[in-house]
Structure 1
Amino acid sequence: MSLEKVVANLVQKVERRFYGKYRGFVVDNADPEQLGRLRVTVPSVLGSDVVTGWAMPCVPYGGDVNQGFLFMPEVDAGVWVEFEEGDLEFPIWVGTFWSKPGGESELPKPNNADGSEQGSVQDPPTRKIIKTKKGHTIQLEDADGEEMVTIQEAVNEHLITLDSNGITIKDGAGTIKIEDASGNEVVMDSSGINCKDSSGNEIKMNSQGMEYNDSNGNTIKMDAMSGFAGPGVKVNAGCNRVCLDSLITWLLQHQHVGNMGAPTPLFPANMADLIAARSGAPNGILSTKIKVE
């Protein structure tokens, strides 16, 4: 074959190849082979009505079993398209691009520390943002004095913020539950806070006050009937009123020197109150804000 023929064949081959990147638009992202492929239109090469075969992804990380960088563009998203070895039969999608339809940038808008979305694209762009179609967002702010990381679940309005004020966890509509591998847990919801360990010891805090239950069945309640600054004390039958019984017995048996020099017990009225206290009946010795069961 002459040199001229070889050159002519090469020119013809090059003329039928398409090298470089072309703007495309996603038509279908539901790959039946689950390989991250897309079907796209490439108007400048195939016209607006022709849809390519399944375009293979070109992503920064992956290529092995159960690992990789998986962010599938939505239908109608703008993507950059190439063709393997320039062959139209083997399209590749290699990234995405944004536009300005109606004069407004399609770049994701940043969120404030409370989760609300700012009205415009950040300028200058000091914040790294990952945001989905539903608004789920991860943000990393690098601006001096404004360093912050936020993780937001947009539908139920759950938000974690890490900034100079510390770590804040906000629950939008449900319950915050923290649990370790041993079964210790803290539950926070609209009714209050409940802390429980794996042994069955439990502390409840709600609008009624505080309650402590241990694994032995003992209970301490602090509520509106207490004489403390806020909640109160409830001594139940499990305690058997050991301390109160001993004190009352000592008082009933105690005698002191009277005016005539003879041993004298408590005044009868006091004795009646002490006897009533031992039985749990109303009395003048124990505060009415200490309940004995």
Structure 2
Amino acid sequence: MTTAQTAGRTTAGTAGTAARTAAQVDQWHGMYEGVVVSAVDPTGVGRLLVRVPEVLGDETPVWAVPVTPLAGSDCGMYVVPPPDSGVWVQFLDGDPERPVWAGFRRGGSGDVPSAARSTPPGVPQIVLATPTGNALVISDLPGPTGGIKLQLHGENGPFIRINETSIEISCGPGLATIQLVGPQVIVNNGALTVL
């Protein structure tokens, strides 16, 4: 990028809006709070349109490429947050025209998925959840409350649970269920038991 191209850019930092020069490009090292404007990436690679007020001002969204823990040809992890979510943004070589989003940031406890709050604090768990309550919960709790649970639409939706004592498939509370417990198959909470 030439000095003329760089001098034409403007940005709002802590000192307000100012023309940037080539010498100033390197000042944006570190991690900055960003807010998702859109997760609909026309290129389909998981970029986010984000605002980074501390670096770019309130009105200048930019496309930030993702940093993911796993990526390869036709494999990897693809996770994008909904609009208004908080993300961490960095700038390659300090250049505000080369943003990457490096992870998510929570605004408060309300941003924690409800599926993650069902396990006591301190118990190791992994939770992947969507805004509508679809969740994959992997918990190290012992016994029937731990294991792996795939839940649709929150606690009142259908689920599959696998733990140390059983495997359960359910259409939801009070609806059809099948449990595999030891040598038994239990249908609809005991309406039929197969030994």
Decide: shared fold, TM above 0.5: yes
Partner of 1:271: none
Taking structure 1 as the reference length, the TM-score comes to 0.47
Deviations 1:55-96 (A, max 9, x none): 1111111132x1110011111110110111111111111111
Task: Select the residue among 131, 134, 137 that pairs with 1:133.
Answer: 131
The residue type paired with residue 152 of structure 2 is: E
The residue type paired with residue 55 of structure 2 is: V
Partner of 1:213: none
The answer on 1:37 being equivalent to 2:47 is yes
Taking structure 2 as the reference length, the TM-score comes to 0.69
Q: Which runs of 5+ in 1 are unaligned?
A: 1-11, 112-116, 177-187, 194-293
Equivalent position SS for 1:138:
strand
Partner of 1:147: 146
Q: Give the share of equivalent positions with the same residue, in percent.
A: 29
The answer on 1:27 being equivalent to 2:26 is no
The answer on 1:47 being equivalent to 2:57 is yes
Deviations 1:96-135 (A, max 9, x none): 11122xxx44212237xxxxx84xx742243221111111
Structure with larger Rg: 1
Report deviation, 1:24: 0.1
Structure 1 residues 154 and 26: CA distance shift in structure 2, 3 A: same
Q: Which runs of 5+ in 2 are unaligned?
A: 1-20, 178-186
Distance 1:45 1:19 in 2: 10
Task: Count residues in correspondence.
Answer: 157
Report deviation, 1:51: 1.1
The answer on 1:58 being equivalent to 2:67 is yes
The answer on 1:158 being equivalent to 2:158 is yes
Report deviation, 1:138: 0.8
The residue type paired with residue 33 of structure 1 is: T
Structure 1 residues 14 and 122: CA distance shift in structure 2, 3 A: farther
Deviations 1:211-263 (A, max 9, x none): xxxxxxxxxxxxxxxxxxxxxxxxxxxxxxxxxxxxxxxxxxxxxxxxxxxxx
The answer on 1:108 being equivalent to 2:113 is yes
Deviations 1:20-49 (A, max 9, x none): 110100001111111111110001111222
CA contact (8 A) 2:55 2:96 kept: no
Greater strand fraction, Structure 1 or Structure 2: 2
Across the aligned residues of Structure 1 and Structure 2, the Cα RMSD in angstroms comes to 2.9
